[in-house]
Structure 1
Amino acid sequence: MKVLIVEDEKPASENLIEELQAIDDKIDVVADCYSVDETIQWLSRNPTPDLILMDIQLSDGLSFNIFKACEITCPVIFTTAYDKYLTQAFEYSSIDYLLKPISQDKLKSAIRKYKNLRNHFVQAHEHPNGHTFNGSQLNGDSYPAHHSDRVRSRILVRKGVEFQAVRVEDTGYFFTEHKLIFLVDKDNRKYMAEKSNLSELEEELDKNIFYRANRKYIINANYIRRFKPLERSKISVELTLPVNEEIIISQENAASFKKWIAQS
C-alpha cells in the first residue's frame, strides 16, 4: 500500500511514518509533503497513491485547497487538532477524521477501515494501473465505467465517522441539504450518503421504484401514503415517513408522476 503523508509538522510526520510501519510493514510511505503548494506539485508529478493521510491546517492554508487544484481519486484520512472541519472534510474523498494526538489504536482502526472498504468495493475488479481502490468508489462507483448502467442495490453512507451500506429498497427517500445528500431509511434513520448530487444518484436507481419529485427529493413508491392535487395542477405527496416539509410535484412533472405511480 502506497501512502502519501501531508503534514506541516516534521515530528508529527515522522511519528505517523513510524506508526504506519508498526501497523503494517507493507505500507510504503512514498512521500511526506509539508504544504498545500508542495502537495499540489507532488500530485501533479507522481502516480496517485493508494491512500493519503492529510492534515487540514497547513503552513500555507487549508489542505482543502489541494482538492481545488488537483483531482484526488484515492481515499483520504484527515488528521487535525480541530473538530470544526468534520462536516467539510467529508465533502471530499475522506474515509476517516482523526483528532490529534492520534493514538496507534485510532490509526490502526482507520487503516483497517480503508482495507475493509477496498476489499468490499474491489473484489475481482482490479484496476489496470495496479491500484485497487479509489475515491470515486467511495461515491458508489464500485464498477468500471461500462457498468454504470447497473441498478444500485446498496448505498454507502456514513454516520459520524463510521461507514456502512444501506439497502436501496430500505430507503424511503433521499434529499439534499447544504450541498450534501441524505438518505432516510424505513425506520426514519437519517444518514449522509456518499454521493455528490441527486442527478448522479437518480441515474443509479431503479426508475420503477424511485422518482425525482423535485430538485430536493427522490422518493420511493413503496413509501408513498397518498397524494393530492394542488392549485395550478401541482401535486402534494405524503410519505409514510415523516418529512420536514411538503413534497411538491411541479405542474410540468405532474403527468409523468401520475404515469409513474400507476406503473410502479
Structure 2
Amino acid sequence: MRKTCIIVDDEPAAHYVLLSHLNQVPDLELIGQFYNGVEVRQFTELNEVDLMFLDINMPEVSGLDLLRNLPHPPKTVLTTAYSEFALESYDYGVIDYLMKPIYFPRFLVSVDRFFSYYDVSDRGAVVVAPTSLAVKVDGEMVDIDLNELLYTQSLGNYVKLFIPGKTYLASITTNDLEHSLPAAKFMRIHKSYIVAIEKIGTYGKDFVQVNDFRMPVGITYRQKLMERMNT
C-alpha cells in the first residue's frame, strides 16, 4: 500500500536531496512541497498525509511550532542541521530525527521506521538500489551517476570523485560517502580511497588500478578485497 508524504523545508537544496531519495522509494508518494509552515495546516486539513519530512529551523513558523499547532499532525521525521532540538522534538511524537546532510542509507532507516507502524501485509515497500548520489559541490547539489563513478579520494572534509573525463570536489567525508554508496558496487580499499569494484582493471594484495591510476590498498582492507575479487 502506497503512503503519502510531504516535504516542509525553507531550503531548496534540502528539497532536492529528499526528492532524490524519495524517487528510490516507490511506496512513498510525494503529494506536496512547502517552504514554510503557513500553508501546511490548511493542506493537511484537506488532504490525507501519512508522513511529513519537516525542517525545524524555518522563518515565520518553526517546525516545532508547526507541530504544536497542527490538530492532527501526520507521522513526522524532523530534518535539521542542528542537534540541540533532538530531545525536545520527541515530546511531539516524531518517529525520527535526521541530521543534515541526509544520506540515503540513513534516510532508509527513517522510512523503515515509518512503515513499521503499519501491518506487514500493508507495507510491501520495495527499495530500489540507488543509481545516483546527490552531493554538494561549490555550494550546489550535483547528481553523480553511480554507473560512471570510478573511484574517490579523500581530501580532509572533502572527497574528490572521479568519473570519465571529469572530477568533482564534494563537501562530504569519506566515511559518510562510504555509508551512502551501495556496498554491492563499491568498496573502501584504503583510508583515503573507495573504488567501484567492476571498474578495477588489475590488482594485487597492496594495489588496485583503475584505468591509468594506481591506488594503495590498506592492510586492514586486503583480505576483504581479495575475497570480493575472487567471488
TM-score w.r.t. length of structure 2: 0.49
Larger radius of gyration: 1
TM-score w.r.t. length of structure 1: 0.44
